[in-house]
Amino acid sequence: MTNTFIPYGRQNITEEDIEAVVATLRSDYLTQGPQVPAFERKLAEMTGAAHAVAVNSATSALHIACMALDLGVGDWLWTVPNTFVASANCALYCGAQVDFVDIDPTTYTMCLDALEAKLKAADAVGKLPKIIVPVHLCGQSCDMETISRIARSFGVKIVEDASHSIGAHHQGRPVGDCQYSEITVFSFHPVKIITTAEGGIATTQDASLARKMDLARSHGITRDPGQMTHAPDGPWYYQQISLGYNYRMTELQGALGLSQLKQLQTFVTRRRQLAAQYDDLLSGLPLKRPAQHPDSNSSWHLYVVRVAADRHTAVFEALRAAGIGVNLHYIPVHTHPYYQAMGFAPGQFPQAESYYAEAISIPLYAGLSDADQRRVVQELTNALADQ
Ligand SMILES: *Cc1c(COP(=O)(O)O)cnc(C)c1O
């Protein structure tokens, strides 16, 4: 039996990916060339969105999405507590405030009843959020049709954090088509479904939001005379018309992204197969397997099991000691010291907190072999028996 470390997630890089990056390295453009726009067009086509704006991370994509929706001082953004901190931090970058909606105990995504109740209460005191950020946790899409019906009845805008779910479908529609949101954000960090090393993208159906995000990722500078507010001085002229950042994706990343996109379907198919095998292999164990909404066809970024809270730490430690790189997604955002200093406290979002007390992400990635998966199951079986 091998004792190599099995991580919870890892990238899958082919020779073709490497060739694509090397060819770009030998080309005229390392940034602001043809690869990034080609990647954007391909991704927009695959998701059914009209526009895609590529940036250097999903964190940046969340920030420019909030900027495009004019989030600012005095505004609120709501997300869920069981997400990566970036889903909430984007509001703080804009000077806005953050609040949370608890999760559904079955799907672990934003609870529809909690959202509706909280919006009604906020409306009554004139403190409606400008934006909500539902998170498609583990790759399973939220019920966006219902979320949009609720949110839009209060005039609230929606940014989907789809960092986990490129390649996923819901009710037969691809995540990222923005049928029920203003903007959708994807991440290409190496543990996600496809990678550009670091990288992210924002999709939208709205040309004006796409233009604002394009400005925000590159200093607020335009070279398009049609967008300039003052007449150009001459042919060298560009004009800064808003405040932006340098959040651009490089050509190396664009080339890698284009090459990885060709494998998206293969990756997601393998992840779905591994998830179905886990469902089977884990069926007799004292743990809770992830539930799937019947309308959902997840991209399976993560496979999260829940074990009894009083055995959670011991099981986690035993797995790590056995070389299984389990992880925990996520520490509830409101319990981080930075958020507690803003006034949040443990106990405020009980579903997200009880999920945190029991959740373990076990290894799942396209390159995971059946043999390694069986080793994960064996070690998990041992860990649960040992307690
Ligand atoms: C990974 C992730 C992010 C941030 O992505 P980066 O590309 O690393 O900035 C944001 N939200 C969620 C839910 C994530 O999993």
Say yes or no to pLDDT of 97 above 80.
yes
User: Are 184 and 162 a contacting pair, CB within 8 Å?
Assistant: yes
Distance in angstroms (rounded) separating the CA atoms of residues 315 and 323: 13
Measured in Å, residue 192 CA sits from the centre of ligand 1 at 9
Ligand 1 atom with the smallest distance to the CA of 199 is: 7
Say yes or no to pLDDT of 192 above 90.
yes
Q: How confident is the model at residue 2 (pLDDT cuts 50, 70, 90)?
A: low
Name the domain boundary from 242, 261, 280: 261
Measured in Å, residue 124 CA sits from the centre of ligand 1 at 33
Of 8, 56, 57, 59, the residue with max ligand 1 atoms within 8 A of its CB, to mutate for a pocket test, comes to 59
User: Are 360 and 383 a contacting pair, CB within 8 Å?
Assistant: no
Ligand 1 atom with the smallest distance to the CA of 135 is: 13
Q: What is the CATH number of the domain that holds 232?
A: 3.40.640.10
Of 175, 189, 256, the residue with max ligand 1 atoms within 8 A of its CB, to mutate for a pocket test, comes to 189
Q: What is the CATH number of the domain that holds 353?
A: 3.90.1150.10
Measured in Å, residue 184 CA sits from the centre of ligand 1 at 12
Domain check: are 53 and 107 in the same one?
yes
Domain check: are 193 and 218 in the same one?
yes
Measured in Å, residue 188 CA sits from the centre of ligand 1 at 8
Measured in Å, residue 211 CA sits from the centre of ligand 1 at 23
Domain check: are 370 and 257 in the same one?
no
Say yes or no to pLDDT of 231 above 80.
yes
Say yes or no to pLDDT of 219 above 90.
yes
Average pLDDT over residues 145-157: 98
Write the pLDDT tens digit of every residue in 337-365: 999 999 999 999 999 999 999 999 999 99
Say yes or no to pLDDT of 1 above 60.
no
Percent over 90 (pLDDT), the chain: 95
Cα-based torsion angle of the residue sequence 84, 86, 89, 93 in order, rounded to the nearest 10 degrees: 180
Sign of CA pseudo-dihedral 44, 47, 48, 52: negative
- For tokens 């393998």, the residue is 270
Q: Is residue 377 part of a domain?
A: yes
The residue among 98, 27, 91 whose CA lies nearest residue 59 is: 91
Domain check: are 112 and 231 in the same one?
yes
Measured in Å, residue 367 CA sits from the centre of ligand 1 at 21
Check residue 387 and give its pLDDT: 54
Per the DSSP assignment, residues forming a β-bridge with 161 are 135, 185
How many CA atoms lie less than 13 Å away from 55 in the CB half-sphere? 29
Ligand 1 atom with the smallest distance to the CA of 164 is: 15
Write the pLDDT tens digit of every residue in 289-344: 999 999 999 999 999 999 999 999 999 999 999 999 999 999 999 999 999 999 99
DSSP notation for 339-380: HHTTT--TTSSHHHHHHHTTEEEEP--TT--HHHHHHHHHHH
Domain check: are 313 and 192 in the same one?
no
Q: Output the residue whose Cα is nearest ligand 1's atom 10.
A: 86
Ligand 1 atom with the smallest distance to the CA of 86 is: 10
Domain check: are 173 and 290 in the same one?
no
Of 63, 77, 87, the residue with max ligand 1 atoms within 8 A of its CB, to mutate for a pocket test, comes to 87
Q: How confident is the model at residue 77 (pLDDT cuts 50, 70, 90)?
A: very high
Check residue 386 and give its pLDDT: 74
Write the pLDDT tens digit of every residue in 273-290: 999 999 999 999 999 999
Check residue 93 and give its pLDDT: 98
Domain that holds residue 379: 264-386
φ, ψ of residue 195 to 5 degrees: the values are: -130, 150
Q: Output the residue whose Cα is nearest ligand 1's atom 15.
A: 163
Check residue 368 and give its pLDDT: 98
Element (H, E) at 221: strand 221-222
Burial annotation 74-105 (CB, 10 A radius, 16+ → b, else e): ebbbbbbbbbbebbbbbbbbbebbbbbbbbbe
Domain check: are 87 and 134 in the same one?
yes
Q: Kindly report the average pLDDT of the chain as a whole number.
A: 97
Measured from CB, residues less than 6 Å from any atom of ligand 1 are 57-59, 83-84, 86-87, 135, 161, 163-164, 187, 189, 200
Ligand 1 atom with the smallest distance to the CA of 198 is: 7
Domain check: are 15 and 74 in the same one?
yes
Q: Is residue 358 part of a domain?
A: yes
Check residue 63 and give its pLDDT: 98
Check residue 235 and give its pLDDT: 87
Measured in Å, residue 200 CA sits from the centre of ligand 1 at 8
Check residue 146 and give its pLDDT: 98
Say yes or no to pLDDT of 49 above 80.
yes
User: What tokens were used for 128?
Assistant: 């409606």
The residue among 199, 193, 160 whose CA lies nearest residue 271 is: 193
Measured in Å, residue 81 CA sits from the centre of ligand 1 at 14
Instruction: Count how many domains the chain has.
Output: 2
